[in-house]
Amino acid sequence: MSAQETRKSNGSQSFQQFTDKDGKVVFEVGPDGGLTLAAEPVAVDKDGKPVPVVLPATIGGTLLVMVDGAARRIPFYNVAAPMPAIMTQPSNQVADPGKTATFSVVATGVPVPTYQWKKNGKNIAGATAATYTTPPLTLDDDKAEFHVVVINPVGSVASNHVVLTVNQPAPVVE
């Protein structure tokens, strides 16, 4: 698709409008990066024949267009797609030294969200699933705080912060 870019304003917000060679509006990009298609988009195959472009109904991505003869990537998303929502929050955990603790969250969103667990506010490397199991615990892990950020292209949401309690070993009586 080839388009001509024009910057416009509706009085309170500016946006970009892209028109075809005949001046027909093809799409607009809002100030938040959202893409509004004004007509069914078409592309051109290797033989120069128009072919419809199928954009997923519930996700976003990048649309590659020709603007003033140069290729340009325009981000888009479907505002009807739901941002992630946490259905079941993680809960506090108690474990003994040398054992592990498991935190879990149940979340929804379209597209399916990704996860990033954090310990004391810092990302935990490789902890990118709905469930996170700690390595074997030490007394230094006592009172550590955990939460997860659930992410998809539409947005993100953070879980409640929960605390890990590591049991203190029983005193040795002689």
d(CA 103, CA 147): 9
pLDDT per residue as tens digits for the range 117-162: 999 999 999 999 999 999 999 999 999 999 999 998 778 899 999 9
> How many residues are recorded in the chain?
174
Q: What percent of the chain has pLDDT over 70?
A: 53
pTM of the model: 0.57
- So what's the pLDDT on residue 49? 57
The mean pLDDT value for 80-103 works out to 91
The mean pLDDT value for 19-27 works out to 57
> pLDDT class for 3, splitting at 50, 70, 90?
very low
Under a CB-based contact definition with an 8 Å cutoff, are residues 149 and 127 in contact? no
pLDDT above 90 (res 58)? no
- So what's the pLDDT on residue 77? 52
Structure tokens at 94: 């108690």
**More confident: 148 or 109:** 148
- So what's the pLDDT on residue 23? 60
> pLDDT class for 110, splitting at 50, 70, 90?
confident
Indicate left, alpha or beta for 69 from its phi (over 0: left) and psi (-120 to 50: alpha): left
The mean pLDDT value for 90-110 works out to 95
d(CA 143, CA 73): 46
- So what's the pLDDT on residue 20? 56
Mean pLDDT (the chain) is 75
Q: In the CATH scheme, what is the code of domain 85-166? A: 2.60.40.10
